[in-house]
């Protein structure tokens, strides 16, 4: 690697390269932080950031420089990162993209934020997202991005007339536009993998329970999972190693599985790796340009010695109705805490307590959030619980069983992340079902709690990025990252960047 001699080249470095430059004292943590803060402000028209706190960022950077000088640096010491605004942070406002939490400042950091800080990462700011992480396009944010007077959608840097994907759209754009070397995201039904695919970056959702949910504003508790987004699998491995680990005192869904060094097996051979190709992921509805890119990536795997094995995930289509029963049901329960009593938005004028509840929630929640709360309350109501919610849970178990049957004949599963490339802003208009249907390939893995990732695999219509989805069995993140890394050593899609930046 050629180390940067000026800060001009800093944003072209990945996490591993930047960490190496910082350890080699080629650049200071303060210089890196200042460079990325300036870059974030210069490209604020993309709408990626919703909050900066320059004073807090530079204080963290100075502490990182002191540790680097003392030789007590962590693995990510001085590396600037940014957090999806679904994680609560002590030094930055935490809104979850909602008017309901406007102005909220948390007294503590989310476990994932704390763990990354302990590894030495410096927080640049908070990133835009769909309200309460509900959305596939990042058009549902109710918070004004930095530099804007009113809420605005995040724009895809490859084509600013298109969506970046959601709900972690701000996170994906920050990495794709080189506003941060790496970021955090959350994935409930595909919200790391889909925006990573649409923006041409790498993102991984670990096994459910691998990363603590403490301090993550809850959407659907049995599905939400934190994960890293960066340019390469190598960078994601570094972040994931820091993020994971048990947190039993704070998160009851946290698994008692020790943190791993996910970088250790990156360069292992994948000769003989059995890659399962589900027939259901390559049927009607998959755009030809996406299929062409995915097929080309699979051919690269064959060149590297992997074997493609046909498999079936017969209940793939059922994942959409199952997810859109279970996730809203959990959301309706989780969002009942936002009532205007203890924190968050409260209506100014009301006659009694019930009136305050009604007006606060009517004012504070956006349309998509209200839609999911109402669906959730309906499927949990007396007389419908057995017909909808209970049935959905049974089919969820069957979907998980389908994966276990598939893994008897393959090591990992590969296919498209989404049926199309990123669509135009406003294209789905008032048709939420169009957004829901776009999640068909990411939902099955989420319902099963499996690790999954998106790896840049080429470009489709309009020169827009296409991602290859890799799904592993439980706790097989290292195998996924190894497979992704080997593909990235053979291709350069992850190195390409949008023009004009």
pLDDT in tens, 285-340: 999 999 999 999 999 999 999 999 999 999 999 999 999 999 999 999 999 999 99
- 3-class SS at 51? strand
Residue 436 Cα distances to 9, 289, 376, 382, angstroms: 39, 21, 15, 26
**Rounded (10°) CA dihedral 394, 400, 405, 411:** 180
Identify the bridge partners of residue 216 per DSSP, sorted by sequence position. 87
**pLDDT at residue 463 in the model:** 97
The angle formed by the CA atoms of residues 210, 216 and 222, to the nearest 5 degrees, is 55
Sequence-distant (≥ 6) Cβ neighbours of residue 460 within 8 angstroms: 287, 289, 290, 292, 293, 420, 421, 466
**pLDDT at residue 292 in the model:** 98
**pLDDT at residue 434 in the model:** 85
User: Would you name the residues annotated as active-site residues?
Assistant: 84, 167, 191
For the chain, what percent of residues have pLDDT higher than 70?
98
For the chain, what percent of residues have pLDDT higher than 90?
94
b/e code 461-489 from CB counts within 10 Å (16+ = b): eeebbbbbbbbbbbbbbbbbbbbbbbbbe
Question: What is the tens place of the pLDDT at every residue in 198-227?
Answer: 999 999 999 999 999 999 999 999 999 999
- Give me the DSSP letters along 400-418: HHHHHHHTTT-SEEEEESS
**pLDDT at residue 343 in the model:** 84
**pLDDT at residue 7 in the model:** 45
List the chain residues with pLDDT less than 70: 1-8
- The alpha carbon dihedral of 143, 144, 150, 151 has a sign of negative
pTM, 2 dp: 0.96
- 3-class SS at 79? coil
- 3-class SS at 333? helix
């Amino acid at each position: 690697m050629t180390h940067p001699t000026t800060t001009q080249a800093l944003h072209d470095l990945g996490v591993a390269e930047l960490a190496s430059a910082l350890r080699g004292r080629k650049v200071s943590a303060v210089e890196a932080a200042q460079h990325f803060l300036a870059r974030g402000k210069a490209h604020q028209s993309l709408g990626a950031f919703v909050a900066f706190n320059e004073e807090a960022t530079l204080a963290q950077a100075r502490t990182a420089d002191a540790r680097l000088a003392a030789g007590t640096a962590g693995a990510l010491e001085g590396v600037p990162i940014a957090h999806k605004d679904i994680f609560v942070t002590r030094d930055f406002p935490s809104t979850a993209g909602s008017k309901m939490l406007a102005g909220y400042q948390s007294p503590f950091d989310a476990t994932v934020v704390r763990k990354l800080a302990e590894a030495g990462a410096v927080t640049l700011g908070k990133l835009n997202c769909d309200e309460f992480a509900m959305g596939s396009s990042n058009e549902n944010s109710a918070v004004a991005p930095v530099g804007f007077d009113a809420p605005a959608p995040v724009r895809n840097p490859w084509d600013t007339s298109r969506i970046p994907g959601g709900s972690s759209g701000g996170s994906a754009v920050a990495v794709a536009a080189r506003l941060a070397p790496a970021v955090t995201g959350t994935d409930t039904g595909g919200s790391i993998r889909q925006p990573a695919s649409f923006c041409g970056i790498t993102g991984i959702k670990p096994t459910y329970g691998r990363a603590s949910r403490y301090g993550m504003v809850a959407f659907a508790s049995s599905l939400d999972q934190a994960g890293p987004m960066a340019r390469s699998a190598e960078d994601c491995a570094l972040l994931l190693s820091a993020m994971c680990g048990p947190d039993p005192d704070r998160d009851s869904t946290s698994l008692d599985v020790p943190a791993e060094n996910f970088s250790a097996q990156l360069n292992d051979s994948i000769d003989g790796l059995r890659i399962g190709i589900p027939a259901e992921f390559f049927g009607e509805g998959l755009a030809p340009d996406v299929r062409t890119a995915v097929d080309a990536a699979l051919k690269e795997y064959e060149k590297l010695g992997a074997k493609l094995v046909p498999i079936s995930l017969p209940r793939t289509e059922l994942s959409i109705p199952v997810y859109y029963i279970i996730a809203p049901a959990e959301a309706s329960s989780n969002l009942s805490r936002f009532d205007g009593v203890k924190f968050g938005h409260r209506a100014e004028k009301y006659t009694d307590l019930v009136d305050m509840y009604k007006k606060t929630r009517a004012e504070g929640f956006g349309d998509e959030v209200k839609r999911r709360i109402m669906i959730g309350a309906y499927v949990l109501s007396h007389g419908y619980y057995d017909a909808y919610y209970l049935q959905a849970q049974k089919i969820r178990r069957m979907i998980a069983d389908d994966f276990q049957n598939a893994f008897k004949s393959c090591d990992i599963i590969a296919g498209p992340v989404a049926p199309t490339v990123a669509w135009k802003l406003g294209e789905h208009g008032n048709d939420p079902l169009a957004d829901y249907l776009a999640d068909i390939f990411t939902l099955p893995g989420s319902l099963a709690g499996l690790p999954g990732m998106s790896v840049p695999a080429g470009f489709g219509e309009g020169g827009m990025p296409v991602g290859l989805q890799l799904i592993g069995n439980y706790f097989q993140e290292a195998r996924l990252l190894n497979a992704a890394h080997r593909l990235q050593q053979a291709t350069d899609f992850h190195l390409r960047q949008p023009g004009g930046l």
